Amino acid sequence: VSYPYDEQLTLKPLPANNLLATFEFNLESKPLTSSDEITTYEVFPRALGPIIQSTNTKELHLRFAQGWWDAECWGKLPLDGKHSGGTGVEIWLVIEAESQDVAFSRWIELVNGLSGLFCASLNYINAASTAYPLTSFQPVNQTYVEVGKKYYFLRAALPSEPVCTENLTPFVKLLPTRGKQGVASLLDGHRLFDSQWHSMAIDIETKCDGECVLAMAETISSVIDVPRSLRTNKSRIPHPEKGDALRCDMSKTHNDWQCFPLGEATQVKWDLREIFGKQIIGTSALNAASRVCVDVDPSWKVRAWSEQTVTDFSGCIDVPQTEFNVEFESADSAVVSNFELPPVMVSRSLTGSGQDNGGFRIVLTNPSTHEVSFNYFETLPWFVRVYLHSLKAEVAGKKGNFVRDIYYKPAIDRERPTQLELAVVVPGESTLTITYGFDKSLLLYAEYPPDPNHGFEIEPAVISTREGYQLRTTSLLLTLPLPDFSMPYNVIIMTSTVLALTYGTVFNLIVKRTVLEAEAEAMAKKRGLA
């Protein structure tokens, strides 16, 4: 019996002794009934089925990501960025509902359920952080669309959400192997998150062709620092190297106590056990396809180890039933397979130094010789008041209409965020700079977080090209004007002091009697006190 499940691990050495590992898992549910319900579960996770069906969700896309992707050194994002997220947590979906209010109530129900399932703060998503994308995000497929029914597209992000092992564990448990077999057996939080960049994604779509099924794709990508992983095998606690273990550049000034270090060794040899701390525990018992693929330069040697069998291979190899390991060897690890630069590279930063206003500066670089068109999407918190009239788009030495279309939805205080979508064109081998200003609003005293001096996270912007490539900027940290948080305590202390002095004086005037000294002595003698 075969089940609708397959998995694949793609390994690609990157410059500077880095390794890109991409885990892909694909599975499907049993056909849905006439009431759009799953009656029998096989490989599709039972934990997700009821949540999706009760909210009438047709598509669900969830992202967890941390770190920074170096596009200049590593090229395009894995899988064209379609399964990569921005810093923190990002979620968008398509919901069928009678009205937008009903869709929003189902949206809140869904994110609350996913919050508990994935141990994330998705329950903090509310109307003030929810956007309704117009052009930048589109449904993956529309085979489920029925005439006369309404569908709503909603999106939100939490850029300050940390990503750690407690988020990875639910991901692994959703797989039919539970991480016990197949390539999923390599997933370990200590190794996966000890990386320069990592991203976890879940994509669920309703596919209809005669009968409807729920198709789920789970993708986990990580850029691993190979030398650091090898050092971790020796000792998990960093410690100073012994003198004979130091790698010094003898061509520069040095002595017995200090020297200029050499770069990492380029002659390398390592395997999956050394990188992930274990090897693949055979393929799953689901009679499903399980593959390991490598993307290396021809100068690299790749060997597959299975019990007593050693096989040289390139491309992809099926995972056997027994324990499985892959070894990489190269005389010069700086020589890696060719990579393609992304169609556009972007950096976004804040400008200005005041406490009352500031600005955004977005630099978009087109490395190719032909012009590139894309949609630029960002949502800003309601306390960032954008001045759209200040938006400027400039290319050094060139004139033209680089922003072809603008969709702007202003924020409403505490009710919805600012939504900005731009249709942008960048000429070949050019750099486009977009700038615009904003004002900073004061929040109510109770709206400030416990660490307001840290700043407020601004979620990454999203760029979607016409060809389907998608990337995100880094998040930003915005400082807002802060009130004097000690003032309430000063007021309490002053008020208490004034009340105590006033009460004491008035109490003495009301209760105490004022008498002459002679009268007091007479009263004392009368009572036998003198």
The domain locations on the chain are 5-243, 345-478, 492-526
User: Is residue 37 very low, low, confident or very high in pLDDT (cuts 50, 70, 90)?
Assistant: low
Q: pLDDT (tens digit, 9 = 90+) per residue, 500-529?
A: 999 888 888 888 877 888 888 888 888 877
pLDDT for res 95: 95
Question: What Å distances lie between residue 495 and 445, 501, 505, 512, CA to CA?
Answer: 20, 10, 16, 25
Q: Look at strands 5-14 and 289-294 and give their pairing.
A: parallel
DSSP bridge partners of 272: none
Across all residues in the chain, what is the average pLDDT? 90
Please say whether the beta carbons of 202 and 218 come within 8 A.
yes
pLDDT at 349 over 90: yes
Q: Supply 136's token pair.
A: 């930048």
User: Is residue 307 very low, low, confident or very high in pLDDT (cuts 50, 70, 90)?
Assistant: confident
pLDDT for res 379: 96
Eight-state DSSP code of residue 444: P
- Residues near 9 by beta carbon (within 8 Å), at least 6 away in sequence: 21, 22, 23, 24, 183, 186, 280, 291, 292, 293
pLDDT for res 256: 75
Please say whether the beta carbons of 58 and 207 come within 8 A.
no
3-state secondary structure (DSSP) of residue 423: strand
How far is residue 96's CA from residue 103's CA, in Å, rounded to a whole number? Answer: 7
Whether the predicted model's global pTM rises above the 0.85 cut: yes
Q: pLDDT (tens digit, 9 = 90+) per residue, 205-251?
A: 999 888 889 999 999 999 999 998 988 888 777 777 777 777 888 88
How far is residue 397's CA from residue 433's CA, in Å, rounded to a whole number? Answer: 12
pLDDT at 433 over 90: yes
pLDDT for res 262: 83
Q: pLDDT (tens digit, 9 = 90+) per residue, 378-416?
A: 999 999 999 999 999 999 888 889 999 999 999 999 999
The residue whose two tokens read 């949502």 is: 379
Amino acid letter, residue 411: A
* Closest among 186, 156, 173, 193 to 63, alpha carbons compared: 156
pLDDT for res 516: 83
How far is residue 212's CA from residue 404's CA, in Å, rounded to a whole number? Answer: 39
How far is residue 323's CA from residue 345's CA, in Å, rounded to a whole number? Answer: 41
pLDDT higher at 361 or 339: 361
Residue 218 sits at the vertex; the CA angle it makes with 212 and 224, to the nearest 5 degrees, is 165
Q: What is the CATH number of domain 345-478?
A: 2.60.40.740
Mean pLDDT across 458-473: 94
The residue whose two tokens read 């010069």 is: 332
pLDDT at 313 over 70: yes
3-state secondary structure (DSSP) of residue 49: helix
DSSP 275-319: HHSS-B----TT--EEEEEE---TTSEEEEEETTEEEE--EEEE-
pLDDT for res 168: 94
* Closest among 197, 162, 161, 160 to 478, alpha carbons compared: 160
Mean pLDDT across 104-124: 95
* Closest among 71, 13, 18, 68 to 342, alpha carbons compared: 71
Query: Which of 255-264, 363-372, 437-446 is predicted with the least confidence, judged by mean pLDDT?
Result: 255-264
pLDDT for res 293: 94
Sign of CA dihedral 108, 113, 114, 115: positive
HSE at residue 6, side-chain half, CA atoms within 13 A, is 5
Mean pLDDT across 90-116: 95
HSE at residue 287, side-chain half, CA atoms within 13 A, is 4
- Residues of the chain with pLDDT > 90: what percent? 60
Q: pLDDT (tens digit, 9 = 90+) per residue, 152-170?
A: 999 999 999 999 889 999 9
pLDDT for res 144: 85
Query: Which of 10-19, 286-295, 339-348 is predicted with the least confidence, judged by mean pLDDT?
Result: 286-295
3-state secondary structure (DSSP) of residue 227: helix
Mean pLDDT across 191-197: 91
Q: Supply 40's token pair.
A: 């029998």
- Residues of the chain with pLDDT > 70: what percent? 98
User: Is residue 284 very low, low, confident or very high in pLDDT (cuts 50, 70, 90)?
Assistant: confident
DSSP 416-478: B-EEEEEEEEE-TTEEEEEEEEEEEPPPPGGGS-S-GGG-EEEPPPEEEETTS-EEE---EEE
How far is residue 355's CA from residue 8's CA, in Å, rounded to a whole number? Answer: 50
Q: Supply 156's token pair.
A: 């939100």
pLDDT at 40 over 80: no
Please say whether the beta carbons of 161 and 89 come within 8 A.
yes
pLDDT for res 38: 65
Q: Supply 403's token pair.
A: 């922003």
pLDDT at 36 over 70: no
Mean pLDDT across 42-66: 92
